[in-house]
A and B are shown apart, each in its own frame.
Chain A
Amino acid sequence: MKIKGSRSGLQLVFDDTADFPAIEQEIKEKLESGSNFFCRGTIIQTLPGRLQQTEKETLAKLFRQYGVILHTTIEGKSLEESVAAEKPEIQVPMQPTVQEMTVVDRTVRGGQEITSKGSVLICGNVNPGAQIIAGGSIDIRGTCRGIVHAGAYGDTKAFIIADHLMPMQIRIAGLIARSPDNVEKSSRAEKAFIKSGQIVIEPIER
């Protein structure tokens, strides 16, 4: 099984030969490993036709226990459209409120850009020349050396977290901070947020 990050969420891609019990087991292990890999509120999509209806339901149930929503993409439509189209069928449980979150499961390299109306979780590094723009907050499980803009639509409560926060520029809502010309690699996770009209950076525990 492979998990691919796409603009609109995560996509599960199965190997043609893998049988369903094996897939189910693998997903279960991932969820139970507690690696926070699938965050609450994440939308997962699978390609149409790969799973039988009963199998889909089993997986959807499994994911739901962890607050993750499973959707099957409808051929030729974007995730948003297929989510809308499928709504009547799937009973979205009310417990975790689904807020839009983009999950990217790879290193974002120079020249690549991730934009999202909601928040963004990057499980990988953000390299120099890469750009992350989020309406909400940005969480980077890796080293951030690119350009990050949280609260891009004016949310001054948005923040940016990274294991090693050493971006070229940080923007939160309407504020911009440039990195000093010599950045040392920080040894602790840090959080950038707005405090009395300024972007400040503080070490955090995670």
Chain B
Amino acid sequence: MSEVIVITSGKGGVGKTTTTANLGVGLAMRGKKVVLIDTDTGLRNLDLLLGLENRIMYDLIDVTEGRVLYKKALVRHKKYESLFLLPTSQVRDKMAVNPEQLVKLCEEMREEYDYILIDCPAGIEQGFKTAIAGADCAIVVTMPEISAVRDADKIIGELGRAEKENIKLVVNRIRPQMVKKGDMLDMDDINDILSIKCIGQVPDDEMVVTSTNRGEPVVSNEGSQAGQAYRNIVGRICGEDIPFMEFPEEGFFTKLKRVFGH
């Protein structure tokens, strides 16, 4: 019973790739067999987040154009043995893959893996259409600000048009202090507009950035708030009923960072 999940957002830079990497590692930490497919052809960086750049031999385009079988192009994660990455090309563009090719690839992969996560490029053009084609469900990532929420709304509309009805929401980079002061949208505002099921609320956390630089997604960091938030999302994907965590006050938050950071 495998599941193909596309991670998408509309607006760029809200955390699709970060979310894909963290959910992939999180699922693998639970022993699931996972493949991550980078479809952001030309702007790939999922490999960086996972610290796998130097191990890439073949890419998605080599697979879709029939030069190698997909298994040959997969890169196994150094630490989590059941996690694989199918990177994309740095030199080709989004037109190099079409939706039918991705559907076919996902169908083949279903036989071997529990979860196939697809990192989608920003925008609603060809790259988006290709990325969503083979997916059973979508995770829409947004940030608590008006333009990101508007774009998420559009993307949800586009997903509906493509008959993808199973859509979940992740709100990333929440800053509790700003929400409290009314300078950032709160969850009620966001749910009111998007009206889809929310499965994740991830705080803005500098450990996300430092761990990215080390190629070690934050989900494996016990002391990080964002890591906990990602672990909770993983649990919800696996069907567990986990309450949303409370964000502590800023004072406590920074103290935590000082104790556990680096």
Give A residues with C-beta under 8 Å from B: 106-107, 109-112, 125, 127-129, 143, 145
Chain B: interface residue total (CB-CB under 8 A):
10
Closest A residue to B151 by CB, please name it. Answer: A110
Q: Are B160 and A106 in contact (CB under 8 A)?
A: yes
Q: Are B153 and A128 in contact (CB under 8 A)?
A: yes
Q: How far is B150's CA from A68's CA once the two chains are assembled, in angstroms?
A: 36
Q: Are A109 and B192 in contact (CB under 8 A)?
A: no
Q: How far is B148's CA from A128's CA once the two chains are assembled, in angstroms?
A: 13
Q: Are A129 and B154 in contact (CB under 8 A)?
A: yes
Q: Is B156 an interface residue (CB 8 A)?
A: yes
Q: Is B157 an interface residue (CB 8 A)?
A: yes
Contacts of A106 in B (CB 8 A): 160
- From residue B108, how far is it (CB to closest CB) to chain A in Å? 26
What are 25 sample pairs from A and B whose C-beta atoms fall under 8 A apart? A106-B160, A107-B195, A109-B154, A109-B156, A109-B157, A109-B160, A110-B151, A110-B153, A110-B154, A110-B157, A111-B154, A111-B157, A112-B157, A125-B193, A125-B195, A127-B153, A127-B193, A128-B150, A128-B153, A128-B193, A129-B150, A129-B153, A129-B154, A143-B192, A145-B193
- From residue A142, how far is it (CB to closest CB) to chain B in Å? 9
Q: How far is B193's CA from A200's CA once the two chains are assembled, in angstroms?
A: 25
Closest A residue to B165 by CB, please name it. Answer: A2
Where chain A touches its partner, the secondary structure class is loop
- From residue B149, how far is it (CB to closest CB) to chain A in Å? 9
Q: Mark B81-106, 1 if CB is under 8 A from A, else 0.
A: 00000000000000000000000000
Q: Mark B177-218, 1 if CB is under 8 A from A, else 0.
A: 000000000000000110100000000000000000000000
In chain B, residues 129-155, which have Cβ atoms closer than 8 Å to a Cβ of chain A?
Answer: 150-151, 153-154
Q: How far is B25's CA from A114's CA once the two chains are assembled, in angstroms?
A: 42
Q: How far is B152's CA from A111's CA once the two chains are assembled, in angstroms?
A: 11
Q: How far is B58's CA from A96's CA once the two chains are assembled, in angstroms?
A: 66
- From residue B175, how far is it (CB to closest CB) to chain A in Å? 23
Q: How far is B161's CA from A106's CA once the two chains are assembled, in angstroms?
A: 12
Most chain B CB inside 10 Å of its own CB: which residue of A107, A109, A110, A145: A109
Contacts of B154 in A (CB 8 A): 109-111, 129
- From residue A179, how far is it (CB to closest CB) to chain B in Å? 15
Closest A residue to B156 by CB, please name it. Answer: A109
Q: How far is B193's CA from A128's CA once the two chains are assembled, in angstroms?
A: 8
Q: Are B192 and A110 in contact (CB under 8 A)?
A: no
Contacts of A111 in B (CB 8 A): 154, 157
Contacts of B192 in A (CB 8 A): 143
Closest B residue to A127 by CB, please name it. Answer: B153
Contacts of A109 in B (CB 8 A): 153-154, 156-157, 160
Contacts of B156 in A (CB 8 A): 109
Q: How far is B154's CA from A110's CA once the two chains are assembled, in angstroms?
A: 5
Q: How far is B154's CA from A112's CA once the two chains are assembled, in angstroms?
A: 8
Q: How far is B196's CA from A106's CA once the two chains are assembled, in angstroms?
A: 12
Contacts of A129 in B (CB 8 A): 150, 153-154
Q: How far is B156's CA from A27's CA once the two chains are assembled, in angstroms?
A: 28
Q: Which 7 A-B pairs have the closest CB atoms?
A: A109-B157, A110-B153, A110-B154, A111-B154, A109-B153, A127-B153, A112-B157
- From residue B103, how far is it (CB to closest CB) to chain A in Å? 21
Contacts of B150 in A (CB 8 A): 110, 128-129
Contacts of A107 in B (CB 8 A): 195
- From residue A156, how far is it (CB to closest CB) to chain B in Å? 32
Contacts of A110 in B (CB 8 A): 150-151, 153-154, 157
Q: 10 more A-B contacts (CB under 8 A) besides A128-B150, A128-B193?
A: A109-B160, A110-B153, A110-B157, A111-B154, A111-B157, A112-B157, A127-B153, A129-B150, A143-B192, A145-B193
- From residue A59, how far is it (CB to closest CB) to chain B in Å? 24
Q: How far is B155's CA from A110's CA once the two chains are assembled, in angstroms?
A: 9
Q: How far is B150's CA from A151's CA once the two chains are assembled, in angstroms?
A: 28
Q: How far is B157's CA from A128's CA once the two chains are assembled, in angstroms?
A: 12
Closest B residue to A107 by CB, please name it. Answer: B195
Q: How far is B151's CA from A129's CA once the two chains are assembled, in angstroms?
A: 10
- From residue A30, how far is it (CB to closest CB) to chain B in Å? 19
- From residue A170, how far is it (CB to closest CB) to chain B in Å? 19
- From residue B144, how far is it (CB to closest CB) to chain A in Å? 16
